[in-house]
Amino acid sequence: MADMPEKSEAAKREEATLTFWEQERIFEKSLAKKSPKGEYVFYDGPPFATGTPHYGHIVTSVTKDVVPRYWTMRGYHVPRVWGWDCHGLPIENIVEKELGFKHKKDIKAYGVANFNERCREQVLTYVDYWKTFIPRIGRWADMEHAYLTMDKPFMESVWWVFKQIYDKGLVYEDYRSMHICPRCETTLSQQEVAEGYRDVKDIAVTVKFKVKNPEKHGLPENTYFLAWTTTPWTLPGNVALAVGEKIKYVIARKGEEHFILGRDKVSDEFTIEKEVSGAALVGIEYEPPFDYYINDTALKNRENGWKVYAADFVTTDTGTGIAHEAPAFGADDWELLKKVNLPFVQHVNMDGTFKPEVKDFAGLEAKPRSDDDAVRLGTDIAVLKYLQDHGTLFSKENITHSYPHCWRCDTPLLNYATSSWFVSITKIKDDVLKNAKNISWLPAHIKEGRFGKWLEGARDWSISRQRFWASVIPLWVCEKCKTKRVFGSATELEEASGRKITDLHKHIVDEITVPCACGGTMHRIPDVLDTWFDSGSMPYGEKHYPFEGKERFEAAFPAKFIAEGIDQTRAWFYYLHVLGGALFSKNAFQNVIVNGIVLAEDGKKMSKRLQNYPDPLEIVEKYGADALRLYLLSSPVVQAENLAFSESGVDEVAKKNIGRLNNVLAFYKLYEDGTERSEASTNILDRWILARLAELIKETTEGYEKYELDRATRPTALFIDDLSTWYVRRSRDRFRAEDVSREGALATLRQALYTLALVLAPAAPFIAEEIFQGVRSANDPQSVHLADWPEIKKRWRLFGGNKDELLITEMARARALVSDALQLRQREGIKVRQPLAKLMVPDMISEELMRILAEEVNVKQVVMGHSTVELDTTLTPELIREGDEREMARAVAEARKLEGFLTHDTVRVEIHPEGKHSAVLSTGMSRFDVIRDAS
């Protein structure tokens, strides 16, 4: 990690606040305080601790901090226990890389027990860094009592979940074509496959399949079917060709050869001799381009192979209108195999290598992983060359298409027929769709869009994986009678096996056998669970449900809130929802905030290699965590849109929000004299800032109640601007006065800062605490984060809602008139310090606002009812002299600043005939003259 910049003052103040929270145990006190509204549960998707936090983690962490803080202030008890995701390919891949392993067989040779224990050691590598970073960005979570998905209580709850849905008939085993990762040698789920698609360059070939006995079908000699494929490596596994029964085909000549292909796919190089229907082609036999299996007399259903069949999935959209069928490597092909009893040929191992019987390619990888196209396409090129040498290649072309890759190791996936265990989503889909109607999404379009469409198209979930470091499938099968038994707890397994169970991982429980009633022995099946099964079981594993706290859990289910990135729409959100529906026929959560992706400033993906983004900790040290939080919360990223991260944006928030607030607080402390906060002042500026404060509370509350975090945080920036650049600036003289106006100003500003601290507390917890400590009274809570959320109705009733709204509108109109008048001054080249006689305005405003307007524009009189905003720019000698005196007063103020004296000094201004004015500043400690040229 690069050297951190020197800490900013904002960062130092935040660290002091962190120390205060830790020493006084403020977080713990917030959990212990009274919660009259009951329990508010949210699910926190646990991160991996195998790397340091990035901006994606920060966005979700801030979201998961803001919402619990708000609902705590609203009177709820909001538990916030941290968790660590420990299982799965992410950890396995790290350990494999560390040990130099390339294949699954390397793990087996090393020993599964040794490998799993190494994973256990590695999984929490960066925990200490996370424990420092998460509190530093202001997030409160109990990280000392974090749950781990690799701990026995969590894993036991996962077993319970599996047994519940198994007993409901929702789990089954099946053999089908599905995607596998040949490097990881495991199946993947629909969601995992969808996550890894990307555009790649590939080779497509059109292959000649010679018709056998053409004379039997009235076809000329040397007639070939033409079939097109983008996966040449699957051709040795061809067992059939498929046509569309209603598609029109032709027999066309090219040179001395005849070809059968779709009528719509014929080019000028062909001469059409005859047109036939797809149905007329069904049953024709052909010679495969590879003869590795056709002569295998032991091959089941061999008599049904290497013929033409009709299939409704065949189209003429791409290719030739004739599909090459290799059922071991395609879902449609597999369905055709089941329908017509095709022979099953699988010439590729699960590790992606060609089997020995495919003698010309034995040992080659079907889809090698490489950035070098020559290596990546090497096997396809070898197949192509074979076809060319044997006269069965018709044509080839380079294509770019979308191809799935492993979401963890980036290896090209294979569509591969294998055995897997599934959760039957189709059986519960109606309930799952109905339950989804109860969920509120932010942004709303995801409900019927990305999430809704995924639910509608959801297929049965492949939950078994052929890996090692994961929760196991707790299913034992008798080796003799094949009876199956599922265990839903460690206790059940202990009672059945007579063994004490302290760890539920594969290398432990695989050694445990169970006697069967038939006299045989039951062994656990070798597969482990998809890690997303762990994730979907998180609500139950976190609480060790149903083994502990059963009633409390059920009373708080479903959760009120969850939040993650948009990529989790089809992942964690989906699996939570599916398992919640399977277990309880309910949605697992009620409200969701979906965030977008944080990109580099140039719109590209953030990359450590390219170093195209600033280190998050560096940003925090430079600008403070509050500035980063407010920048993210007010950005489109909390509306599931992507954000091109801009450091200058954080800088702007730091200056315009945090910096101004610190200045206002410093100003208050300069004049603070113990005056208690109050809303009783009748001064128009005091009434206005309190009205604005009421408006801020209303807007912010509405945003938080609807989980619209940008709507909740954006109004604070406008209020801070009003407070700093208008209220405080217009009230300076009142704070310096020695009369009742000073008391009203101090009481109002203290009230405004106190309430603003409450409003800021969820989004900007550090500055909120700093302000709160600066204005709190002896009987106030110890911390802003132990206080209650300010109520809307009481405050609006105080002045009468409509009156407040009218005052806000009138003040906005007066400020707009000021802006217009100042622009007129600028156009005429007359400085504001030069008094003018008159300002004419069209608006009708109150006398109080008229006085403010006159002072701001520096005019003697405001005249209303004019058609436009106009200034009388006539300069009389009296006005010029007054302007000179004002200029001198400004110079004196500068002198006071330089000397550090703000009050209790004496000023004498002398006007000289020759046009030179002298200002004499007497402080009792020093004396000096300031000379200005008045000409």
- The CA angle 671-677-679, to the nearest 5 degrees, is 120
Q: Read off the tokens for 66.
A: 């803001």
Is the sign of the CA dihedral 846, 849, 853, 854 positive or negative? positive
The upper half-sphere exposure of residue 713, i.e. CA atoms within 13 Å in the direction of its Cβ, equals 28
Tell me the three state secondary structure of residue 76: coil
In single-letter form, the type of residue at position 624 comes to G
Query: 39 vs 73, 124, 557, 558, 851, CA distance in Å?
Result: 13, 31, 10, 12, 52
The DSSP bridge partners found for residue 836 are 859
* Alpha-carbon dihedral angle through residues 657, 659, 661, 662, given to the nearest 10 degrees: 160
823 in active site: no
Distances (CA, A) of 443 to 122, 564, 593, 785: 37, 12, 7, 28
**Which position among 164, 466, 568, 639 bears the catalytic label?**
568
Tokens of 762: 């969820």
**Cα 643 to Cα 496: distance, rounded to the nearest angstrom:** 55
* Catalytic one of 21, 44, 82, 85: 85
Q: Which of 46, 404, 558, 616 is catalytic?
A: 46
The question of whether 289 is a catalytic residue gets the answer no
Instruction: Judge contact between 810 and 849, C-beta under 8 A.
Output: yes
Q: In b/e form, how buried is each residue of 354-372, taking b as 16+ CB within 10 angstroms?
A: beeebeebeebbbbbbeee
Q: What angle do CA 124, 128, 132 make, to 5 degrees?
A: 140
Asked about 82 being catalytic, the answer comes back as: no
What is the Cα–Cα distance from 41 to 80, expressed in whole angstroms? 9
**Among candidate residues 265, 269, 230, the one with its CA nearest the CA of residue 250:** 265
Which of the residues 160, 306, 461, 532 is marked catalytic? 532
Report the greatest alpha carbon distance in the chain.
127
**Is-catalytic flag, 872?**
no
Of how many residues is the chain composed? 935
User: Helices 684-705 & 740-760, crossing angle to 10 degrees?
Assistant: 10
* Residue 739 Cα distances to 159, 669, 733, 736, 743, angstroms: 74, 18, 11, 9, 7
Q: Which of 97, 605, 669, 831 is catalytic?
A: 605
d(CA 229, CA 709): 49
21, 454, 572, 789: which one is catalytic?
572
Q: What's the CA gap between 719 and 725, in Å, rounded?
A: 10
Q: Which of 840, 843, 875 is nearest to 861 (CA)?
A: 840
Q: Give residue 4's identity as a one-letter amino acid code.
A: M
Active site residue 480: no
Q: Which residue in this structure is represented by tokens 């399949």?
A: 209
**Catalytic (active site) residue 532:** yes
Cα end-to-end span (Å), the chain: 61
Q: Where are the beta strands (DSSP E) in 278-413?
A: 286-287, 307-310, 322-325, 393-404
Q: What's 191-254 look like in SS3?
A: HHHHHCEEEEEEEEEEEEEEECCHHHHCCCCCEEEEEEECCHHHHHHCCEEEECCCCEEEEEEE
Residue 233 is a catalytic residue: no
Residue 908 burial by Cβ neighbours in a 10 Å radius (0-12, 13-18, 19+)? exposed
E strand or H helix at 153: helix 152-167
What's the CA gap between 273 and 263, in Å, rounded? Answer: 11
Catalytic residues: 46, 85, 532, 568, 572, 605, 608
